[in-house]
A and B are shown apart, each in its own frame.
Chain A
Amino acid sequence: MSAKLRVVLFIFSFVWFVIVMGLIRRNKLPIKYSLVWMFAIFIIFLIAVIPKILEIFANAFGFLTISNLVIGILLTILLAITLVLTMLIARQKKQITLLIQEVSMLKEKNK
């Protein structure tokens, strides 16, 4: 992996870390949901510091270049996070529906 890419990844993970920490401190992101992002940041950081890990993985999974593997890893993390979020939204939709129904029925009773 080129030195340039390592520097970019390092800066990337650092900036991201600062943003996530800022959101947590301003109470905009619960710790519960930030953990997955912290984990993602940590992996990118690890790649920047010890690129050797990547070479082993790239060979094992048949990636031609290490940068492809980096993109692949990022994509997988993003897809996983999106899937979890989609499930969360579906659950919240059910909860909101229940709330709207029950509140509306209560309002009707108190008319």
Chain B
Amino acid sequence: MKKSVLLIIPAYNEESNILNTYKKIQEFNKNAKENQYSVIVINDGSRDNTESILRDNKIPYISLINNLGIGGAVQTGYKYAYENNYDIAVQFDGDGQHDVNYVMELIKPILDGEANMTIGSRFVDKNSSEFKSTFARRVGISLISTAIKIKTGIRVKDTTSGFRAVDKKTIKMFAKSYPLEYPEPISTTKILLSKLKIAEVPVSMNERIGGKSSIVSWKKAYYMINVMLTILLMKRR
């Protein structure tokens, strides 16, 4: 049976990237006859021309009437996926960091019934990872990874990757409740605590072409403390 796949693309002030991202997905769909990906862009109250670009190019989108931040935006995508009965939802960045050609590999463990959620990881296989990240960032990610290991007993390497796919069961779960703060590591922990399975799939990511990362430098220490505490204090089911 063919599974329906939805790419959820959160976009906040992405006027310089969003059209390119969409065009690449369209190109992919043109070549792939069977496994077409649906798209929903969640415009997170952008103040630039993101919305008019989406409207003029007939890109399917939901415009949030106010800025919610990445967690609230992505959850809107999961709600949309749930309402429209999609089998698989993929979180996909609007800034050109993620490559649509990796989506098939990313969703494979879900199609095979081996995982409820997959994470596009920059660490699992060193050879395929061209992602250059700073030392501080790697340390931060591995600290979060350790916190998750302590809490759940399972090692997840790339804890902050925003390139991930979930199955129907998880779509329903995320549609109902999704962490608004620090969504990636917290949702990962939540999944593991609910006894669902996570698989990491090696992917390579592009450098950011434009736009700004949602984690601003001076907030990093504060971010780390918050994430670690939240993970360690999460309720076991």
Contacts and interface: CB of A to CB of B under 8 A. Distances in A.
Contacts of B66: 100
Given A104-B64, A104-B65, A108-B61, A94 B76 contact: no
Chain B residues touching A, majority SS: mixed
Given A97-B72, A101-B68, A101-B76, A108 B180 contact: no
A93 interface: yes
Interface residues of B, number: 14
Contacts of A103: 65
B232 interface: no
A101 B83 CA distance: 13
Contacts of A100: 64-66, 68, 72
Contact of B63 (A93, A94, A97, A107): A107
Contacts of A60: none
Given A93-B180, A94-B180, A105 B76 contact: yes
A17 to B, nearest CB: 38
Contact of A104 (B62, B83, B180): B62
A105 B61 CA distance: 9
B188 interface: no
A104 B61 CA distance: 10
B79 interface: yes
Given A93-B180, A97-B68, A97-B180, A104 B63 contact: yes
Interface in B80-121: 80, 83
Interface string B151-189: 000000000000000000000000000001000000000
Nearest to A101: B76
B180 A105 contact: no
B75 interface: yes
Contacts of B75: 97, 101
Contacts of B80: 105
Interface in A19-78: none
Contacts of B64: 100-101, 104
Nearest to B69: A97
Interface of B: 61-66, 68, 72, 75-76, 79-80, 83, 180
8 contacts: A97-B68, A97-B180, A100-B66, A100-B68, A101-B75, A105-B83, A107-B62, A108-B61
Given A97-B75, A100-B72, A104-B65, 7 more contacts: A100-B65, A100-B68, A101-B68, A101-B72, A104-B64, A105-B83, A108-B62
